Amino acid sequence: MKDISESQARLRGIFNITVTPFTAGGEFDFAGLARNIERVIGLGYDGVLIGGTYGEFPAMSADERALLFRRVMDVVGDRVPVMLCSAGSDARTVRDLTTLAGDLGGLPMVTPPFVSEVTDAQIVSFFKQMAPLSRTGILVYNAPGIGITVPPAVLEQLADIEGVVGIKQGDLNPTAIDQIANRLAGRLRLFCASDLAFLGPMMCGFDGISSTNSCALPEIILGAYRALERGDAATARELHQLWYPYRALARRHGQPQLVKAAMNLRGFDGRHVRAPLIDLEADVIARVAAELSRLAADPRAGVSLK
C-alpha cells in the first residue's frame, strides 16, 4: 500500500494472524513462513497480520522484527494488505518499526505504551507522535491481554488523529463493542481481534476480523466469515459452533502453542514456539489430533488431514 487513502480502502475482511514458525533451536523458518502465507492467500484471505502477539513479537529483538517485516513483504508484495505489528515497550523501537512498516508498504499496528500508571492524555500523545511516522497510517491495537485496555472514550480521541486508519479491538466486552461500532463505524476501520468470539462484533458492524486459528483451520473459519458477509448468519453460527471443542483447548493450553501443534498435525509449517513459551506435551497433542479427526469427518468443516 502506498498511502493512507489506500490503507483505508483496502483494510477490510478476514486477515490471517500468521504465526512465526521457529526451529527447535529458536531460529526463523522463513521457508515455512512463506508457505503458510501462500496457503491463506490462495484460499482467499483478504490480508495477513505479521509479528503480532501470537506471532511472538515479545520474544524477538528489534532487528529480528525488522528482518521479519522485510522478508514477509518480499513474499507478499502488494497482493493483499499486510498488518505489521510495531508494538513494543520501548517507544524508540516502536518509532523505528512503525516507520519501517509504512516504508515497506505495510500497515503498522501499534499498542498503547507498556508503562504503568500511564494516563489517557499520555496515550493520546503517544499515538499523535506515532501516526505521522508511517506513510500508510497506523492501526491502533487495543490489546488488554498484553497491555492497557483503552476505553471507548479514549478510542474516540484516537480516531480524530490524522493517520489513524483503524482499530483492532481486543476488548470484547459487549458494551464496549456496542459503543465502538455505533460511534466509530464509518470514521475508521474496525477489526475484531479474536476469532474465538467474532460473530457479535461483525453483526454490530465491524469491518473485519483477524484470526490466529485460521493458521490451523483456515477453511472452516473462512467459511464462517464469508457466510456472515453474505448475510447467512445461520451458517456462520453453525460453522462457528462446529469448532468449539478446538477453541476450548486453545483457551486452556494457549495460543500460539496449540495452533502450531494443530498445524504440524495437518502437515503445515507450525514448527515450534520460542521461549519463554513451551511446545505442547504429547498428551495434549493427542487431544488436538482427536479434535482434528472429528472435524475432518464432518463434511461441513472442509478440513482434510494429510
pLDDT at 134: 98
Check: CB of residue 303 under 8 Å from CB of residue 292.
Answer: yes
What confidence tier does 144 reach under pLDDT thresholds 50, 70, 90?
Answer: confident
Is 92 buried (19+), middle (13-18) or exposed (0-12) by CB count in 10 A? exposed
Contacts of 271 by beta carbon, 8 Å cutoff, 6+ apart: 21, 22, 23, 29, 32, 260, 264
pLDDT beyond 90 at 284: yes
- Please indicate, yes or no, if residue 132 is contained in any of the structural domains: yes
Tell me the three cell numbers of residue 167.
Answer: 482499530
- Please indicate, yes or no, if residue 290 is contained in any of the structural domains: no
pLDDT beyond 80 at 16: yes
Within 10 Å of residue 3's Cβ, how many Cβ atoms? 13
pLDDT beyond 80 at 145: no
pLDDT at 113: 87
pLDDT beyond 80 at 147: no
Establish whether the linkage from the previous residue to 276 is cis, with ω within 30° of 0.
Answer: yes
Within 10 Å of residue 79's Cβ, how many Cβ atoms? 12
Measured between alpha carbons, how far is residue 225 from residues 142, 218, 219, 233, 289 in Å?
22, 11, 10, 10, 24
pLDDT beyond 80 at 149: yes
Task: Give mean pLDDT, residues 238-245.
Answer: 97
pLDDT at 203: 94
Residue 134 CA to residue 164 CA, distance in Å, equals: 10
Number of domains in the chain: 1
Which residue in 2, 45, 54, 168 is the catalytic one?
A: 168
Averaged pLDDT of the chain: 96
What confidence tier does 28 reach under pLDDT thresholds 50, 70, 90?
Answer: very high
- Please indicate, yes or no, if residue 168 is contained in any of the structural domains: yes
Tell me the three cell numbers of residue 306.
Answer: 494429510
Residue-wise pLDDT for 198-232, tens only, equals 999 999 999 999 999 999 999 999 999 999 999 99
pLDDT beyond 90 at 127: yes
- Print the domain residue range for 30: 4-241
pLDDT beyond 90 at 244: yes
Task: Please state the pTM of the whole predicted model.
Answer: 0.96
Residue 6 CA to residue 186 CA, distance in Å, equals: 15
- Please indicate, yes or no, if residue 124 is contained in any of the structural domains: yes
Residue 239 CA to residue 221 CA, distance in Å, equals: 8
Return the percentage of the chain with pLDDT > 70, whole number.
Answer: 100
The CATH number linked to 69 is: 3.20.20.70
Annotated active-site residue 141? The verdict is yes
Establish whether the linkage from the previous residue to 218 is cis, with ω within 30° of 0.
Answer: no
* Burial per residue of 109-119, b for 16 or more beta-carbon CB atoms within 10 angstroms, e otherwise: bbbbbbeeeee
Task: Give mean pLDDT, residues 123-149.
Answer: 93
- Please indicate, yes or no, if residue 35 is contained in any of the structural domains: yes
Which residue in 2, 45, 128, 141 is the catalytic one?
A: 141
Within 10 Å of residue 12's Cβ, how many Cβ atoms? 18
pLDDT beyond 90 at 306: no
- Please indicate, yes or no, if residue 246 is contained in any of the structural domains: no
Residue-wise pLDDT for 150-176, tens only, equals 999 999 999 999 999 999 999 999 999
pLDDT at 114: 82
pLDDT at 116: 81
- Please indicate, yes or no, if residue 87 is contained in any of the structural domains: yes
Annotated active-site residue 244? The verdict is no
- Please indicate, yes or no, if residue 214 is contained in any of the structural domains: yes
Strand 189-192 and strand 164-169: the pairing is parallel
pLDDT beyond 90 at 146: no
pLDDT at 173: 92
pLDDT beyond 90 at 103: yes
What confidence tier does 288 reach under pLDDT thresholds 50, 70, 90?
Answer: very high
Return the percentage of the chain with pLDDT > 90, whole number.
Answer: 94
